[in-house]
Amino acid sequence: MRSRAFENAVLASPLVLFLLAILGFPALLSLVYAVSETTFRTLTAPRFVGGANFAAVWADGAFWRAAWFSLRFGAITAVLQCALGLFLAVYLYPLIRRHGWMVAVLIVPMIVAPAMMGLMYRLVLHEFVGPVPHYLYLWFGWSPAFLSPANVFATVVAAETLQWTPFAFLLFLAAYGAIPQDLREAAMVDGTRPWRLFWRIELPLMMPTVFVALFVRFIDGFRVFDNIYTLVGAGPGGATTSLSIYIFETFLRRAEIGKAMAAAVLLFLASTLLFVAARALVLRGREGRG
Amino acid sequence: MALRWAVFGLAALLLNFPVIATAVTAFKAPGEVTRNPSLWIEEPTLANFAAVLTASDRLNIYHHLGNSLVAALIGAVLPLVVAFPLAWAMVRRGVGRGVLFPVVVNLRALPLIIFAIPLYMMYAAAGLLDTRLGLGLVLAVVNLPLAVLLLVNAVGDIPAELEEAARMDGARLPRLLLRVVLPLCRPAFVTAFVFGFITAWNEFLFGLILTTREAVPVTVGASFFFATAGGGVQWGMAAAVMVVAALPPLVLGLVMYRRITGSVMAGAVKG
């Protein structure tokens, strides 16, 4: 029995050691730096300041604006992606069942780096070289300033939604395909109309997947960085500063390392809380619908 | 059916519009880019690609592509190596089921910036800043949750009797793992590798923070083309560099698109 315990330890050790080295040690470091005052010049000599960094973050209006941005961005993009993805999956299913390659065409955006996507939008929306303003002027004689303070939020929401709708689409496609065919046929024999079939039978069966998709897309939207950063950075007047961008700017631009660490610790706690809460919702949703 | 085809065409155009427009722009001559923003190319040219492939110094694309390739390979392979023995022990003996499994799987939900800053401190002390190895190691952390999930599922699908039969024949544990379990898990390895490589190649934030010159990946290197001094952005060249940077994961992803579907599903089942 002793050799079995030893075997188990050996089997688990590569992953455990790797995690301790790459995450455990930095986690300790971040706790040290979160309660210290440090600049890039005094990296090795942090000065203990207690809870001052946390107090500074807590009192920083920009931090709360960033938190509000991330929550709103995560919630809105998750709902839009799931609505659009659900529609595409259900409506295109009869075609896709016979032409599998259609899936490949629709998931291209997922395979492009979000950072590249942000840069591509810089080109596509550019007022002189971008095709979007070009065609809007050509057809409607008008084009909005996509990156102005008034419009920039809608622009980044649209960019995120269009890139990650395929993710929700894939999940719904699988869930829809898993509904037993005889269930549909039985309903059709009873004279149930397609709309009713969807609302009364198919959608309730897909509800667990809807919750999972909303949850996963919210998490990814909440922590957004790459595409917003390469498209507009912190945005006009900080209008697109997500929590990730706030911490990045505090760290690299303003070199307030202790404050950035304290914000990161707070973000960690907030994410964990959100995660636990959302997970509970998902699990309840699953059980509730059987 | 015709309406369904139309909806498909519209969705394909809308979702892929930035990619299509960028690819089109990459084939326009520098003069044409500013004169003609439409999706029609008057005089197709490879000049932008030639310019990208011969740019030097900070814009040396081969250097960035090489960095991305090495870091993404480390980031895709290492999680499989460390996760495989644990996945087996977890399924067959319940090792780490209670704490390790949920902790690792839930890593996926954390904002990456949380890791980036403390890692910067540690890398500065360990001499890993601006190295391909340092970048690859942290990308491996990003890919770890999916690797664990996929391998645990794969090992769970192997009938226990099969392993017992091998045991009866006198196979010891290392042999059993490498000769019996590993080949049976091959589809999961391929899926995790494909998705992991694409994720690692596409990562941006760690490249931005942890590299400065020597190990800059192509996602960060491509953005250098948007910040060239004097005369503003050369859009044709910028478009070409994005096509070059996006091509490796796109080719891999489209050839293996069924694997992408599989990994999305596995990641979502456990939430």
Q: Residue B179's CB: how many other CB atoms inside 10 A?
A: 11
Q: Quick one: CATH architecture of B62-228+239-269?
A: Orthogonal Bundle (1.10)
CB-based contact (8 Å) between A128 and chain B?
A: yes
Q: What is the rounded CA–CA span in Å between residue A62 and residue A74?
A: 18
On whether residue A51 sits in a domain, the answer given is no
pLDDT band for A24, please (50, 70, 90 cuts): confident
User: pLDDT exceeding 90 applies to what percent of chain B?
Assistant: 61
On whether residue A132 sits in a domain, the answer given is yes
pLDDT of residue B172: 84
Q: Residue B137's CB: how many other CB atoms inside 10 A?
A: 22
Find which of B36, B110, B113, B182 to mutate to test the A interface (most A CBs within 10 Å of its CB).
B113
Chain B residues inside the 8 Å CB shell of A282:
271
Q: What is the rounded CA–CA span in Å between residue A109 and residue A116?
A: 10
Chain B residues inside the 8 Å CB shell of A108:
15-16, 19, 250, 253-254
CB-based contact (8 Å) between B25 and chain A?
A: yes
Beta bridge partners of A47: A37
3-state SS record for B173-188: HHHHHHHHHHHHCHHH
pLDDT of residue B271: 43
CB-based contact (8 Å) between B193 and chain A?
A: no
Q: What is the rounded CA–CA span in Å between residue B144 and residue A110?
A: 19
Domain boundaries in chain B? 62-228+239-269
DSSP string, A17-85: HHHIIIIIHHHHHHHHHHTEE--GGGTTSPEE-TTHHHHHHHT-HHHHHHHHHHHHHHHHHHHHHHHHH
What is the domain extent for residue A167? 60-288
Spatial contact of B14 and A162, defined as CB atoms under 8 Å apart? yes
User: pLDDT exceeding 70 applies to what percent of chain A?
Assistant: 96
- For residue A177, give the CATH number of its domain: 1.10.3720.10
The shortest CB-CB distance from B7 to any of A92, A167, A226 is to A92
CB-based contact (8 Å) between B212 and chain A?
A: no
Cβ of A105 and B12 within 8 Å?
Answer: yes
pLDDT digits (tens, 9 = 90+) for B219-268: 999 988 887 655 678 899 999 999 999 999 999 998 888 888 777 777 66
Q: What is the rounded CA–CA span in Å between residue B263 and residue B252?
A: 14
- Count how many domains chain A has: 1
Q: What is the rounded CA–CA span in Å between residue B41 and residue B33?
A: 9
Average pLDDT score over residue span B115-136:
92
On whether residue A19 sits in a domain, the answer given is no
Q: What is the DSSP letter of A239?
A: T
Q: pTM of the predicted model, to two decimals?
A: 0.92
Chain A residues inside the 8 Å CB shell of B11:
88, 92, 106
Find which of A13, A73, A129 to mutate to test the B interface (most B CBs within 10 Å of its CB).
A129
Chain A CA closest to residue B6: A92
Q: B185-208 b/e with 16+ CB inside 10 Å = b?
A: beebbebbbbbbbbbbbbbbbbbb
Q: What is the DSSP letter of A46?
A: P
Following CA atoms A227, A233, A234, A236 in sequence, which dihedral angle do they give, to the nearest 10 degrees?
Answer: -110
Spatial contact of A37 and B121, defined as CB atoms under 8 Å apart? no
